Structure 1
Amino acid sequence: GFSKYVMVPVGSTAIWLLVTKGTYRTVERVLLLACIIYIGYVVSGIMAKPDWSLVFKRLIVPEVKTDPEYIMLTIAIIGTTITPWMQFYLQSSIAEKGIKKVDYGASKLDVILGCSITDIVSFFIIVTCATVLFPAGIRINEASEAALALGPFAGRFSSVIFAVSLANASLLGAIIVPLATAYYTCEAMGWEAGVNKTFKEAPQFMWIYTSIVIIASLLVLIPGAPLVTLMVLSSVVNGLILPFVLFYALRLANNRKLMGEYTNSRLFNIVAWATVSVIVILTVFMLLFLFVL
């Protein structure tokens, strides 16, 4: 493969130019095209030839454990699937696109469809790793090792597809996470924000984005850095923060003075509050196991 000391600077420069020199429409189209590559995870999952009867059995009746590591990884999976920063990015992107009331239904459908695809992709990633890596006792220290480990079990083609999908996911994250941070920081401080703005029009927004891209790139380039461990821990932190973000988001979404006829339905609220409750319960259990029991 290519050296990260070459690809990280190249990739970082490319996404920086895309966001700072391009328009929001251009960035959105690039992200949508990149999302197509996520199909690679589905292909890899199928090529791994899992025991589908066992997969669907565990999907309906999961094997629940109570040890701290299991609970922590459960929170991490939730935190990396329903990310706090994505809640901020969604509202910022809708504001930047200038969505009107007449477009609200289409935007809602867009979010629901995107979340559903995210869950499907996550499902196949878990299936692939559970089928290939777990039985062989393979522990992953770098993301690239996951792709390489697939080769002997699911074929070189599957390994390549998984690697390309990983690279694609990394680039998407490298674009969206700094953008989300720049958006909500500028909104909180009352500064101009937006991809359609120039450095002169929104200097704080552009410099926050630039700084995060540079810092993240330098961290990735540190020799021997435990990147997988850092990713898991950051996902756990996301999972711990998520209930607070969802709590206030749901309060706002159910405020009739603010939302009018577009407040959440009863069914939507039941699902949303149930999700918050489950995450809170898992968090309490994890903290009890780590610091009390």
Structure 2
Amino acid sequence: MEFIYNFKRRALILLAVLGPGMITAFADNDAGGVATYSVAAAKFGYQMLTALIPITVVLMITQEIGARIAIVTGKGLADLIRERFGIRISILVFFLLFIVNFGVVLQNIGGLKSALLLFGFDYRIFLPLLILFLFLFITTSSYVRIERFFLFLILFYIAYLASAILARPDWTIALQSLVIPRGSVNFDYLYTAVAVLGTTITLWGQFFINSYVKDKKITPEKLKYERLEVYIGAILTDIVSFFIMVAVTATIFQNGLAIEGAADAALAVKPFAGELAGLLFGLGLLIAGFIGCAIVPLATAYAFSEFFGYEG
């Protein structure tokens, strides 16, 4: 009975801290991330899967550091930068962060546009409506409601699992490729691997998880549970990345096709894995772009308020 009681208590604590690690990690798989994974898999196939485990480990470490800093200090990363380096450096860092985040948001808007076109919707009507919905929802909803909404959206990433299954890959080779390097490692491969790393470990993600944990008021006593939540989020998001790359490899790479983005991948998957697989891939892109369009501006707002001491 004591074991059951302790298990339930720990499970409830884990559920209580659920959010920062999970949402930040999955938001890293935004429209740009889906595009990068798709292009990498179309170019190198199963060979690129070898990079996933090291990238997952790095993501776990960096996200844990961000969460740990917030829990121990009770301050956001931008707060600490301002206090340590002053307002001038803060202005410079925020300016650079704003430029990068602006580009990421545009990338996600482009992903939303492509996904809407895949489903036959007029993006000139539905894209502004989606953006307006996001703005109104975030500015009028409670913290808890927003958190639950994005945790719910994460469930739709299962579309990539279904898409990968429909693509009928060689699962043995795919799983072996996670730990056994295949093919030659040249400059082109390393360059692409760095791009995959860069789309997973993001600048805005470090600011976001730090501020999110601070806002959630997670205490040092719950540090080990938040660490576990961060690790689970990092592993699950890269499992999604695995399925994205497997789906693309089994269809596009195996047939010698070239693509330029996630929308191309969704279209190219259809002839080989069926209409449903392409639509599921497109659904994943839609959700990824939607989450990215929400979380990256939130990260920017967090950083602005902390860099300049605004608590509104």
Which of 153, 159, 162 pairs up with 1:40? 159
Residue 149 (str. 1) matches residue 279 (str. 2): no
Please show how residues 235-246 of structure 1 align to structure 2 within 5 Å: none
Residue 116 (str. 1) matches residue 239 (str. 2): no
> What SS does structure 1 have at the residue aligned with 2:178?
helix
Residue 69 (str. 1) matches residue 188 (str. 2): yes
CA distance in 2, matches of 1:55, 1:142: 22
> Does the CA-based 8 Å contact 1:65-1:71 persist in structure 2?
no
Which of 299, 306, 310 pairs up with 1:180? 299
Deviation at 1:77, TM superposition (A): 1.0
Runs of 4+ in 1 over 6 A off after TM superposition: none
Which of 149, 174, 192 pairs up with 1:55? 174
Deviation at 1:170, TM superposition (A): 0.6
Residue 130 (str. 1) matches residue 240 (str. 2): no
TM superposition score normalised by structure 1: 0.62
1:221 equivalent in structure 2: none
Long gaps (5+) in structure 2: 1-119
Q: Residues 3 and 72 of structure 1: is their aligned pair in 2 closer, same or farther, counting only changes over 3 Å?
A: farther
> Does the CA-based 8 Å contact 1:81-1:118 persist in structure 2?
no
Deviation at 1:53, TM superposition (A): 2.2
CA distance in 2, matches of 1:158, 1:13: 29
CA distance in 1, matches of 2:288, 2:184: 29
> What SS does structure 2 have at the residue aligned with 1:140?
coil
2:221 equivalent in structure 1: 102
Per-residue CA deviations over 1:109-153 (Å, capped at 9, x if unaligned) read 211111110110011111111111112233333532221221111
Deviation at 1:49, TM superposition (A): 0.9
Q: Residues 84 and 65 of structure 1: is their aligned pair in 2 closer, same or farther, counting only changes over 3 Å?
A: farther
Amino acid at match of 1:161: L
Amino acid at match of 2:238: D
CA distance in 1, matches of 2:125, 2:253: 31
CA distance in 1, matches of 2:185, 2:261: 27
> Does the CA-based 8 Å contact 1:147-1:159 persist in structure 2?
yes
With CA pairs under 8 Å and 6+ residues apart, which has the higher RCO, 1 or 2?
A: 2
> What SS does structure 2 have at the residue aligned with 1:138?
coil
Deviation at 1:97, TM superposition (A): 1.3
Percentage of identical aligned residues = 37
Aligned residues: 193
> What SS does structure 2 have at the residue aligned with 1:38?
helix
1:31 equivalent in structure 2: 150
1:249 equivalent in structure 2: none
Amino acid at match of 1:138: L
CA distance in 2, matches of 1:69, 1:116: 26
Q: Compare the two structures and name the one with the higher helix fraction.
A: 2
Deviation at 1:63, TM superposition (A): 2.7
> Does the CA-based 8 Å contact 1:140-1:146 persist in structure 2?
yes
> What SS does structure 2 have at the residue aligned with 1:36?
helix
CA distance in 1, matches of 2:181, 2:266: 26
Amino acid at match of 1:100: T
TM superposition score normalised by structure 2: 0.58
Q: Residues 108 and 5 of structure 1: is their aligned pair in 2 closer, same or farther, counting only changes over 3 Å?
A: same
Root-mean-square deviation over aligned CA pairs: 1.7
